Amino acid sequence: MQVAPMSKLYVFCIALAATLSAFPPCSWAEPSAQLAKRLELGDCQFVEGKCYKPMRMIVSGDPAMLARPLASPNAVVWRIDLQTGEQTRFEFAIDELLPESQEAPSLPFDRPQVRARSNTRTPINDTTEFPYSSVLKLFMSIPGTQYGAACSGMMLSETVALTAGHCCYSNDASQGIPEGILSVDYVIPAMNGTDERPFGFTEADELWIPDEWKNPRWNEEFNHDWCVMHLTRDMGSRTQWMDLVSATARDSYFNRKNVHIAGYPGDLRDGNYMYEVEGTIAGVYGSIIYHDAYTYQGNSGGPNFFILDEDTGSYEIVGIVSHGFEYDGQHWNGSTMIKTPVVEAIREAMDCSAGCEEGARKCLGASQVQSCEINSFGCLSWSTSRCGDEQTCVLDGQCADCEHACNEGKQRCSDDHTVEQCVPGELGCREWQEEKTCGLREICVDAECLPQPDGTDGDTPDPDACTGACQPIDAPACLSDGHSICECRELRWTVVDCADYCADEGHPFKSCGLDLSEGVEACQCRDLGGVDGDLPDGDSQTSGEPEVTDGSTSGGCASTPAAGWFLLLSLLALSAVKRRQRI
């Protein structure tokens, strides 16, 4: 639909407020009854009992917003001290301020014909993973009211962050927020619901805002919808941050490329969870990128970024979520580009003296290395790179090959009640880590928790199943097939083929039966004519005490009491025969 002119929009907002509409009213000074009604509609995010509403993405129907500002040799930026209220003017001499063309396009024909895509936003479940760890949730107080606003943002260094200009300074009361500075109450990296703040939070003590936004001329403001924030605590060392695109990149670098946007849209789960959406850049006009990615209020100030190499963690910020535009039934989403004034403001906001020693290295987690280098802003800061596959970062900030303790995915029992799995450890190398503990009446067998046997009294297994846990004292049993036995091996009933067992012993298989010497069933193997005192049929048992020979090889038999009696009886019989012959 076509957006009404500003005068009509103001009247429209007054009417909405009077009817207790769910849409944000033009005035934030609501009577308590209206406020209570609005809160019932879930329009607020509460922090420490204060109501913060998702910041409205500015929507305009004025075609003049696309007119390109005239080139200037200077850029003016204001530093605002949020603690004292002092405002300091900085003027930068720069060679470049705008892209190639200075002419304003005629509408609607020169506009990128782009509609916002269907709602394909994806929730970020692990917000601590880079680059999402560098995305911010912002809560600001609105001047002259008891309410606040919520935006998105991004880290740029240890203590410097970036967001949209309208998240720091309201320059047009007709958009629903009284004109003036917004104080930044909470800066929360990677927020994942109201109870999950993995990196804690901080606040901003300084804002850097372009003069074109603070003192707008209608043909300039959307080209300068940015704000640099200096934070009171070092957050970036833990969250890391994405690189910035070159301020001198030409328009052709952006056209038709896929762009990703991350932030906290207010229409999804109360704006307390991070979402990512992908779109295509339709064109660059002035210092504005127009794209078809679906954004909503609360996304304001969030990063537009390219994925250069996901494997190596290379990402590039190309814009800041700024506004929407309705004209002649068409809708576009616009983002402010990273141009030279932004870079200069970031350089001023950085405290270079708080950097690191050039050339120093350290580990960031198990598989990333940080090295101290001069960044694009002329300050020493930590840059991050990843180690290669099968490598880990060691204490001196160097990547070294892993010494793995096991094969990934393997499992084992560390004791009778604990299952361990082989996984990458804290340093990235594979190691055994506890996966689970068996229950009170369970025992770990072959990396599984199985029901513990009733006792350790020599029970025999189920001859048909031969499954489950066992104890070493439990007796084996021959199976019904006659050639297999069920034995307790490694605390688990296991089927053993007697033929294989006998072959391993170097004997042919005979049967599975009772071992008389031990009183238990066992595999029985045929003797090939051994010299170990076996019975005449050559039976050999698989269990019991080993038989000891006397080392004699006479007659192929061992000297035993039975053999002695046999010899004595033979001599007596021979003597009797000789006596009879004499008679």
Instruction: Tell me, letter by letter, the H, E, C secondary structure of 238-289.
Output: HHCCCEECCCCCCHHHCCCCEEEEEECCCCCHHHCCCEEEEEEEEEEECCEE
Q: Considering the chain, what is the average pLDDT of its residues?
A: 75
Q: What is the mean pLDDT of residues 457-485?
A: 76
Q: What pLDDT, in 10s, does the model give residues 102-160?
A: 333 333 333 344 455 556 899 999 999 999 999 999 999 887 777 888 999 999 988 99
Q: Is 499 helix (H, G, I), strand (E, B) or coil?
A: helix
pLDDT at 489: 83
45: part of which helix (H) or strand (E)? strand 45-47
- Which range, 66-75, 303-312, 472-481, is most confident? 303-312
Question: Phi/psi at 175 (nearest 5 deg)?
Answer: -85, 0
End-to-end CA distance of the chain: 145
> Within 10 A of 118 (CB to CB), how many other CB atoms are there?
8
Given the DSSP bridges, would you call strands 314-327 and 243-244 parallel, antiparallel or unpaired? parallel
Distances (CA, A) of 124 to 120, 180, 194, 264, 275: 13, 33, 15, 10, 6
Q: Is 169 helix (H, G, I), strand (E, B) or coil?
A: strand
pLDDT surpasses 80 at 568:
no
- Rounded CA-CA distance 52/167 in Å is 12
**Bond prior to 536 in cis (omega within 30° of 0):** no
Query: Are the C-beta atoms of 238 and 172 separated by less than 8 Å?
Result: no
Contacts of residue 265, defined as CB under 8 A and 6 or more positions apart, other chains included, come to: 54, 121, 271, 275, 295, 296, 297, 298, 299
Q: What pLDDT, in 10s, does the model give residues 32-66?
A: 444 443 434 346 777 777 788 777 665 554 544 44
Q: What is the mean pLDDT of residues 289-308?
A: 91
Distances (CA, A) of 281 to 246, 296, 307, 316: 17, 17, 14, 15
Between 278 and 25, name the one with better pLDDT: 278
Strand partners, 487: 494
pLDDT at 161: 95
Query: Are the C-beta atoms of 176 and 194 separated by less than 8 Å?
Result: no
- Which range, 14-18, 110-114, 393-397, is most confident? 393-397
- Rounded CA-CA distance 489/476 in Å is 10
Residue 579: pLDDT band with limits 50, 70, 90: low
Q: What pLDDT, in 10s, does the model give residues 505-553?
A: 888 888 888 887 777 888 888 876 644 444 444 444 444 444 444 444 4
Distances (CA, A) of 370 to 18, 188, 359, 537: 56, 23, 10, 78
Q: What is the mean pLDDT of residues 333-338?
A: 89
* Burial (Cβ within 10 Å: 0-12, 13-18, ≥19) of residue 261: buried
Given the DSSP bridges, would you call strands 314-327 and 58-60 parallel, antiparallel or unpaired? parallel
Token representation of residue 173: 């009361």
Residue 358: pLDDT band with limits 50, 70, 90: confident
Token representation of residue 576: 């009797």
Question: Phi/psi at 223 (nearest 5 deg)?
Answer: -75, -10
Q: What is the mean pLDDT of residues 434-462?
A: 74
pLDDT surpasses 90 at 425:
no
pLDDT over 90 for what percent of the chain?
19
- Rounded CA-CA distance 52/210 in Å is 25
Domains in the chain (CATH in brackets) are 1-43 (no CATH), 44-350 (2.40.10.10), 361-401 (no CATH), 403-452 (no CATH), 461-545 (no CATH)
pLDDT at 125: 94
Tokens 């006792």 sit on residue? 455
Residue 354: pLDDT band with limits 50, 70, 90: low
pLDDT at 303: 97
- Rounded CA-CA distance 266/270 in Å is 6
Residue 580: pLDDT band with limits 50, 70, 90: low
Instruction: Give the distance between the most distant pair of CA atoms in the chain.
Output: 157
